[in-house]
Every structure is written in C-alpha cells, then in structure tokens.
Structure 1
Amino acid sequence: MNGKSLMLTPKELVNHNSILLSMDIWNAEGELVAVKLNTPFQELTFNGDFDKVENILLEIKGYPFYNLVSEKVDVLLSQLYKLKKTLNFNDTNYKKVSLIPFKDKNKKFHQNLEDLENGIYLNFFSNHRFSNFTENFDGKSSEIIKILKSKNFDFQVSQHFAVKMRVMSNCRIHNFDEGFCTISDENHHYDRGNSARLASLTSSNFLHKDCNKTIENAFILPFEHTYLNYYHNLIECIFGLRYFDYHKYDYPIVYSKDKFNIIPFIAKKLNIDQDRFLSLDDVSTTLIKKAYCFHKGSFYWDKSIYDFARKLIPSSVTPSRKKVYLSRLKSRRPIQNELEVENFLRCLNFEIVYSEDLNFEQQCNLFSEIEYLVAPHGAGLANICFMPEGATLVEIFEKGMIKADFYLRSTHNKLKYDFLFLDDNKNLDLKSLNEIISNK
C-alpha cells in the first residue's frame, strides 16, 4: 500500500466503475459497514444472481479494508457456496419445488385458535422503546463512545415485541438439509423470515416425495437461523413456547432438533407431555392440516424472554452472589492467555466454568445464581436470560469485533454492563480486567 492510499477512505479506494460505489453499504465517513452487506446479499441471492454476489464479495476481499469486514464477508461467501452446493442435491426420495414468499397483510390476533382463518397475525403490545446508553457508559472516553455508537449500542430496543403467528392449511415440512428447514402450504407459499438461513435465501427447496401420515393441528416452533448453535436453538426455537397456551390446546409441538437435550427438562418444568414434541424428522412425510407457526421474536429480545426463563428456574434457587468466569479453554476459540486469566480470576474468588461440562439444567441453575459474570462473546451468553435482575456482565471481544447484541439484550433485565478487548495476539490484559472488576 502506498502513502497516498493510507489517506483515502475505504470508499475512495474502490475502482471508479465498481458496483460497490452504488450500493448502500457505506457510512458518512466512507467506511464499509459490514452489517449493511446483508440486504443486497439476501436479495441478489434470492433472485439467483449467485455469480454477481460472488464477484462483489471477492472484489471486497481484494481491497486493503477487507480486514475490517473479513468476518462478515467470509460468512457470506460460506453461505453462498453452501447454497450453491446444496441446490445441486440429488436424492430420489426428494423432489425439488419452487416456493413463493407470502405477501399478505397482518391481521389482529385473538385467542380462539379454532376461529382463525389462514393468514399472518400480530398480537400488538405497547411498543415503548428505550435506551440506557448515556447512563450505562457515562465516564467512557469520547473515542470509546464514538465506537459504541458506530456499533449501534445506542439503539432503542422495544420493551415488548409483537407476537407474530402464521396460520396455514395443508402444510408440509422441508427438512432435507439443516439450512433449508421451513414449512409451506398446499400452494407452496412460505415465510422467508421464519425459515432457516439458506431457505430464506432462495425460492428453491426440496420436499420428501412420501406423504403417508396426517396431523389435524400442530404448533410449529420458530425455525431458528441454524439449529446447530446453542443460542439459536434455545432462544429462537425452544423459547417460542412462551408465545402460546400449551395447556389449553394439546396439539403436537413441532421443533427442529434438540442437539443440546433441552426439551426433556423444559417439558418436565412446564408440565407438558413430552410425547407432544415432534422433531422435523418425525413429520417429514406428514401432512399437517392446520399449522400454527410462531415466528422468532426480536433479535434484541424483550422482557418476555426473561419472564419465560424464570419459569425454568427452580423455586428453591436464590441468587447466591456467585462470581463466574465462563472459560473457553476447552473450546475451539480460547483466549491466548486463558490459563493466566483463569488463575487471576480464581484469586478474586471467581468460579471457573466450562459450559461444555454442564447440561442444560445445570447451566440454567448456575446462571440464575450469578451476581457477576465475565465471559467472551459467544452463544453461551444466551444463558444471561437466567441471571438475576441487576447482575453484572463483562463481555470480552476480539479486537475490532465488538457487537452490541448481548448488551442490548441485557438491558431488558437491567444488567450492569462493561466490556474488554483482546489485544492483537488475542491476549486479555489483566490490569484492564482488574480495573473493571474493581470499579463494579
């Protein structure tokens, strides 16, 4: 890179005839905003412009600013290649179908499910929005405040998020591949927004040729982004149980997979007959005459997440003022000086916890007792939904990879929040860690 290029903004480095310049992916300072790549990627991919998408992403990889958005670009490329590969799928047990996104308008939800006609329903709550950004980050430098605002930490979240439910008739489940899971009606209509990641990116899907069983009515839990991830499986899919009266209506409850063995505990805790739960595999050759499909809630949660989580906490459990460090020593992405961090925090009376060693019930009970949590950003932070109101969360990020997700989610439970960056070698500075702990 020459001296001149160091003075140019990322946008000014782009070739003058590049399509990138006409795309809404830049901020006012001429910086490429990684999250803004989602919309053009999704729409171009859905329209089948695979080559165009690939060329755009590969072009970005060729610029010096690629390292600032590398995680997002690499994820999108991975999704594109998986999509192209899977669409070449060939199995005599499945047939290829073209799905059509629903485009109907919302209707007002009411309680008697039997009276609902086909359509999309919303249960409207008071949509009060709030942000505690100024209060929570008072005392941070102007430079840090600028970074946090650029990452949407000042976003106003909704206190209550409207429940969305689709009623469909004569439905079939698509589950030949984990990324293509969705449900469609007799006319092959489906909801892109309530589908697994790849199913939302293309109108092409596959359906099992056999249809040898029938179910009259069923609740369909939300299709999570990816069901191999603890966060998505727990929060997006299984916590969809909070949306409906599972005691008044004894319909079967269809879910994706239970990789983390969560359902037996939840079924027992909520007094739901476990035989009502059917996986997508169980119904892949089944016609569902009437399906009540609940959509995922707000990405940044709402109060109902915490209210539902408290139903799963044993009544005998009371906050015991535990201080916990969620270590990644046993994961694929540990902090470089993980052992040093563990030893340092042990000296401050922190309990070192490895999520991999705990089943769901143990994680639920443990987090309900935590007063102070230090943890790297990741799916394991889904468990903050079990933490007591007003507890403390210190989130650790790789340098330059700060995300507002769990901060915004934590605001619904009034958690005290702070964060730390790893250095360029992925080490955590113990002095900075000590300063934060001492000030909380």
Structure 2
Amino acid sequence: MTWKPIICLAALVLSATAIPVDNNVEGEPEVECGPNSITVNFNTRNPFEGHVYVKGLYDQAGCRSDEGGRQVAGIELPFDSCNTARTRSLNPKGVFVSTTVVISFHPQFVTKVDRAYRIQCFYMESDKTVSTQIEVSDLTTAFQTQVVPMPVCKYEILDGGPSGQPIQFATIGQQVYHKWTCDSETTDTFCAVVHSCTVDDGNGDTVQILNEEGCALDKFLLNNLEYPTDLMAGQEAHVYKYADRSQLFYQCQISITIKDPGSECARPTCSEPQGFGAVKQAGAGGAHAAAAPIAQAGAEEAPAASPAAAAVPAAAPAAAPAAPAVARANLAQLRLLRKKRSFGENEGILDVRVEINTLDIMEGANPSAPEAAALVSEEDVRRRVSSSGICLTPIGFASFLGIGTVVATALSATIFYVARPTSHKH
C-alpha cells in the first residue's frame, strides 16, 4: 500500500505549517499615565522579537517600538503625537487621553497571537473646598447643605429598537437604535438634551452628525432625536461604516439643566434634515479630540450663554446660517433655559461615547436580517463552501484519494476472481 506514507507526510507538513508563533502576552498590559505621555508595557512568555505600534501608524518611526530580546515589550506615546486623542469631560471634571496599541510577535506579519488594546488614561481635576466656623454668641448656628448629585449618563446602540440588547458587532444596513439615558437619584429635577455628536474611525477622520443645538445633519445617518422622557433620547438608524474601516467611535455631549417646577423640559426645535449634510471636521488626527474641549471652554468662559452659543466658535467655519424661523425658535428656547438661573451654576455638560464594529455584507446574505448568520468574520467567509462544489482540506483530499484507490483495487480483484474461467473434472 503506497498511499499511507504519503498521507502521513502530508499531515506532518500541514501540522508543521500550522504552528503559531510560540509567544503571547502574559497577564494584563501595564499602563503608566505620565504627565506628558502614556507608557504601555507588556510581559511576554518568551523573549520578544516583534513590534509594538499605534494602530494605523506602523510606518511612523516615532509611533513604533522594535526593541526585542527581552520578555518585556513596550512603547511610550507623547500626548502631542501618534494620533493620541484628548477629550475633556465635565462630569467628572478632567481629560481622557486614549489611543489603540498593537503588539505583534512576528517581525513582518500580523498573526493570530497578536493583540490590540484600547488604552485610556483619565486625568481628573481636583476641587477642594475649605471652610471655617466662628462663634459670635452663646448659640451656634449649624449649617447643613444637601448636594444633589448630577445624573449619570450613558450612550448605547441597541439591536432593532428601544427594547433591544446592546450590540458591539453589526452588519451594514442592520437596523439599530441609538439610545441616550441618564439615571438620577431624584425625579422630575433635571432635563437632558443630546447635542454635538460626532463619529470617527479611530484614525482622525471625524464627521459631525448632530450639531451644537442637537439637530440632525444627515437623515441617512441619523434623524432628529425623540425624547420619550426628561432624561432619555433615542432614534432608529441603519448601520454604516467608513471605507476600509470596521470600527466606528461615536461621541456626544449631553447638557443637563435644572427643570422648572411644573414645566416641561425644553427640547431642540429642528427642521427636517437633508441628505448628505454631515460636516467633516477640519484637522486630521485630532478633530474629535479638539472639538469638545473648545466647545466646553467656550461654555465655561461665557456663563450667560447657552450650550448652543458656547459651541458656536468651534463650529462656525463649517456651519451654515440658520433659517429665520429656526433662529427665532432657538432664541425663545434659550430664553427659557436662562430663566431664573445662570448657565455656570445650573447646567453641566457630560461626555458619552460608544463603539461598534461593522462587518461587510456577505454575498447572498439578507442585509435587513440581524441573524447571527450574517455576522461572520472574514475567515468564516473564506471557509464558506460554494453551492456548486465541495471544499476539502489537503489532508481530506489525500485521504479521499487513498480510500478511493483501496476501494477501486478491491473491486477490481473481486471482478477478476468472479469472472475467471472455472476448470471441470471429467
């Protein structure tokens, strides 16, 4: 039998070519949030011989580390380079500094043992309150102040509709529901308005989809929001993606105001959005990081202004003049927001963000169905069996040929034995 050693040899060769790189990351990355940079270190099982680099910036020398020979690999990223994103937050007060770092164990290619980590450092601003007490008579007056905490807000992308489950993976055209909710310890106290929403691909390509007043800019991406309750907003949409990019990073701001007793929350007065009206923000690599701090800085420096007026300096170069009717409605809304209170004392702006990974539509799949059959990886697509044939691995093909040869030989021997002439004795 000559096929058995050939099959074993094919299995030996294939098993040798399928061996992964004999190394991986041990434990969690060690992140050091420095005053001017972020340092990320990885502990590896064996001496490291690959690269550590910022995702999308492999060819930039300052954004890649090639040190090897030890069981520790790492990279230091200054705040002002390598697409390091900085986003200001007002609750809690501080700045988020984030980036995506890839550790690759092969000197030339990305393999299955490589990992990508989203690194984020938060630098909090500290507020210290000092007080003193003086006694001016026999009786001491005790002061007690109760501070109502600000609502805690979140941004979710749900599958299908308002009652769907949060998703992280979706196909192009799949129906989803963008939902913003704020949880408060008190009832009928606060109002929330979502505005200044952007989407980017993680490499600095940032597009604004909700303006500073909370109005939609492109009906094909996201329509004007609906507000079912005082602290909830949402709208249905369909999944889209950048060309050659699978990740989408959404970021919005939520203005929290104190609600007047017995009144309704003021809502944005928006016209019907047009198609293809989304605004691509200027400044590659840092548009989304710079837009929020500029808008918030304007809000802090202009206590008597509204959230819309505070963000105008950042968006004026790209915004179009509003229609007279919309301008009058916005003016009335701003007067209502300013009634009996000032911006600096009674309003806060919260930053919320969410991330989703989009997958290309498979040939023959139904883009409107959210079933798991459409959510496949690229390797699953490559392994899909064609409807007009059978796909076999090399080992399976060799086994098929060996079994076929044995069956054909046995059949020939049987036919020869049955058909041979018989001798008769006389």
Structure having greater relative contact order (Cα 8 Å, sep ≥ 6) = 2
> Larger strand proportion, structure 1 or 2?
2
TM range (shorter): under 0.3
* Structure with a larger share of its residues in helix: 1
TM-score by structure 2 length? Answer: 0.20
Work out which of the two has the higher radius of gyration on C-alpha atoms and give 1 or 2: 2
TM-score normalised per structure 1: 0.19
